[in-house]
Amino acid sequence: MASNARSYNDAIDALNSLQTPFAVIEARRKAGVRPDGTSVRDMGAYLARIGYAPADLDRLGIVHVAGTKGKGSTCAFVDSILSQYRRARGTPRKVGLFTSPHLIAVRERIRIGSRPLSEELFARYFFQVWDRLEAAQPAAEGAEAGPAPGSKPIYARYLTLLSYHVFLSEGVDAAVYETGIGGEYDATNVVEHPVAAGISTLGIDHVYVLGHTVDRIAWHKAGIMKAGSPAFTVEQVPEAAAVLRERAAEKGVALRELAVDPRLASVRIRPDATFQKKNATLAIALAETALTRLDPSFSPDLSAPLPREFVDGLEQVVWRGRCEVIEEDRVVWHVDGAHTVDSLKMAARWFAGEWAGEESKSKSTAAAAGPKVLIFNQQGRAEAVDFLNGLCNTVKKADPAGRGFEHVIFCTNVTYAATGYKRDFVNKQYNPKDIENMTAQRVFAERWSTLDPSANVTLIPTIEEAINKARSLGETVGDGQKVQALITGSLHLVGGALGIIEKADAL
Ligand SMILES: Nc1ncnc2c1ncn2[C@@H]1O[C@H](COP(=O)(O)OP(=O)(O)OP(=O)(O)O)[C@@H](O)[C@H]1O
Ligand SMILES: [Mg+2]
Ligand SMILES: [Mg+2]
């Protein structure tokens, strides 16, 4: 990296160079390489090379969250509650939030005071870490073989490392951390003494890395529980709950399994759905634990209504790309980044509910709400084709006439027709041939045509063109009607789409 290349864009280019290329991922997969403890050990070594001991992380007051679904939402709730508390009472001094993946720009993953790090600060800290890694003398770590001298951790791990440097440099005293994948071997698991650990809803995802059954997956997520730190989870399927209990007992951790918090009855949680109340319940327990440590005058009272700051935090949270509605003249966009079987059913149910609401409003004028349009993608997961069934049927069931989506568009996650990926979305982890040939999208299209032969199914190369197509359908609808579009299946798709719909390259 040239020493004069130091802008945000340079940082993102440098970061993209740390992505594991498709060919390497494939080779590992074929060789049956699975994650193990090396990743966390290496993170410890990298942390040392940039000048920190594991104990330094204790200053961050880390709340650590794992789970299959709802991690990000839970973290956003905790962050929002702590930020409200800080505003009202001056504690914590500074709240940090580390989440993944990003929706619109990489720097969203590292927030202070709920705001993404500025481009300038991101670039500055990014290259400080870069330079320290290049200059480090790994010999100082002792005889144990660590990562190669001068090497950098891969993409997600680099960002994790960067977040520690940012939060420690900025004096964050309450940091909320979402795990990347799993828990036991996740880069964020380098923290030894979190303030609390939270495990959100468990289900099937990332099967290649984590295993094919819920109990294997639960084993990984349970890896964030640490002796001496309270741990919380929500109601889980029995196989998952059993593993969590077993692992907690082994580690000597007091694990609390929370039923939906009755104090939420008077709080407006959006969307108004059980899964979100479970996320909120977990967030309340985590925030209470953090505040108990930070503020001697704070003590949770389960029999009293939630403190004002908690209610405000929960009601005013911003967590984009999930159950979002954006209204244009001729199109209503429903945007949700769900990308597992269960969460897609949830997203379909939410869309169907919104659509049915529109439909009933327009009954009196004899005009229906407008055609239902689906824009879907999920890149790089063969099993994604099985996401489609639930999506199709949930929407059909909600329509009194039994009609599904009138138009179904499958596109890739490539952002723009002319210029390709937006820099923050460059992705080397997928087979470029598959993107070019739209291999996955063809399989989706074929499946959809058997699920709903009456649907108009199209393949469109980029997100931008898919959006244009839905907008052009909007030009043909009757007076008072709007295209009812659902964009879902991938957070990358949803982030790219939001950037285009809002004409906002920046945040
Ligand atoms: N507790 C839950 N149970 C099931 N589905 C959920 C739950 N919470 C959120 N979802 C669904 O999953 C989507 C993603 O939510 P969120 O970002 O909180 O999850 P995540 O665990 O961070 O996922 P990712 O794997 O993308 O990091 C939401 O839009 C919603 O549809
Ligand atoms: Mg995930
Ligand atoms: Mg997430």
Could you say which ligand is closest to the alpha carbon of residue 349? 1
SS3 137: coil
| CATH code at position 285 | 3.40.1190.10
More confident residue, 63 or 142: 63
Is the residue at 310 inside a domain? yes
As for ligand 1, residues whose beta carbon falls within 6 Å of it are 67, 69-73, 100, 200-201, 275, 278-279, 322, 336-338, 342-343, 346-347, 491
Could you say which ligand is closest to the alpha carbon of residue 491? 1
Among candidate residues 224, 218, 185, the one with its CA nearest the CA of residue 41 = 185
Residues 150 and 56 in one domain: yes
Residues 394 and 257 in one domain: no
Residues 72 and 171 in one domain: yes
Q: 347 C-alpha to center of ligand 1: Å?
A: 10
Could you say which ligand is closest to the alpha carbon of residue 274? 1
Residues 312 and 410 in one domain: no
Mutation test residue for ligand 1: of 64, 69, 237, the one with most atoms within 8 Å of CB: 69
Q: Is the CA virtual torsion 149, 425, 334, 404 positive or negative? A: negative
Cα-based angle 391, 397, 402 (whole degrees, multiple of 5) = 110
Is the residue at 269 inside a domain? yes
Residues 312 and 397 in one domain: no
Q: 69 C-alpha to center of ligand 2: Å?
A: 7
Residues 455 and 328 in one domain: yes
Determine whether the annotation assigns residue 245 to a binding site.
Answer: no
Determine whether the annotation assigns residue 322 to a binding site.
Answer: yes
> What percent of the chain has a predicted confidence (pLDDT) above 70?
95
| Largest CA-CA distance found in the chain, in angstroms, rounded | 78
Atom 23 (ligand 1) nearest CA: 69
State the complex-level ipTM.
0.97
Mutation test residue for ligand 1: of 64, 65, 68, 73, the one with most atoms within 8 Å of CB: 73
Domain boundary, last residue among 280, 299, 316: 316
More confident residue, 60 or 362: 60
Is the residue at 215 inside a domain? yes
Residues 469 and 339 in one domain: yes
User: pLDDT tens digit string along 273-301?
Assistant: 899 999 999 999 999 999 999 999 999 99
Residues 208 and 270 in one domain: yes
Residues 257 and 336 in one domain: no
More confident residue, 36 or 247: 247
Domain boundary, last residue among 316, 342, 376: 316
Separation of alpha carbons 283 and 236, rounded Å: 16
Nearest atom within ligand 1 for CA of residue 347: 31
Nearest atom within ligand 1 for CA of residue 74: 18
Is the residue at 3 inside a domain? no
For residue 247 the two structure tokens come to 């692992």
Residues 238 and 261 in one domain: yes
Nearest atom within ligand 1 for CA of residue 72: 22
Nearest atom within ligand 1 for CA of residue 350: 31
Determine whether the annotation assigns residue 119 to a binding site.
Answer: no
Residues 96 and 120 in one domain: yes
Is the residue at 406 inside a domain? yes
Is the residue at 274 inside a domain? yes
DSSP 140-182: GG-SS--SPTT----HHHHHHHHHHHHHHHHT-SEEEEE-SS-
Separation of alpha carbons 229 and 232, rounded Å: 10
Domain boundary, last residue among 292, 316, 340: 316
Determine whether the annotation assigns residue 100 to a binding site.
Answer: yes
User: pLDDT tens digit string along 89-102?
Assistant: 999 999 999 999 99
Determine whether the annotation assigns residue 134 to a binding site.
Answer: no
Band (pLDDT 50/70/90 cuts) for residue 364 is very low
Residues 237 and 123 in one domain: yes
Mean pLDDT in residue range 325-331? 94
Could you say which ligand is closest to the alpha carbon of residue 343? 1
For residue 490 the two structure tokens come to 């991938």
Is the residue at 228 inside a domain? yes
| CATH code at position 371 | 3.90.190.20
Boundaries of domain holding 383: 324-501
Cα distances from 14 to residues 17, 48, 119, 157, 475, in angstroms, run 5, 21, 14, 14, 42
Which of 32-46, 243-257, 370-384 tops mean pLDDT? Answer: 243-257
Is the residue at 506 inside a domain? no
User: pLDDT tens digit string along 26-53?
Assistant: 888 888 888 889 999 999 999 999 999 9
**Domain tally for the chain?**
2
Beta-bridge partner residues of 112: 96, 115
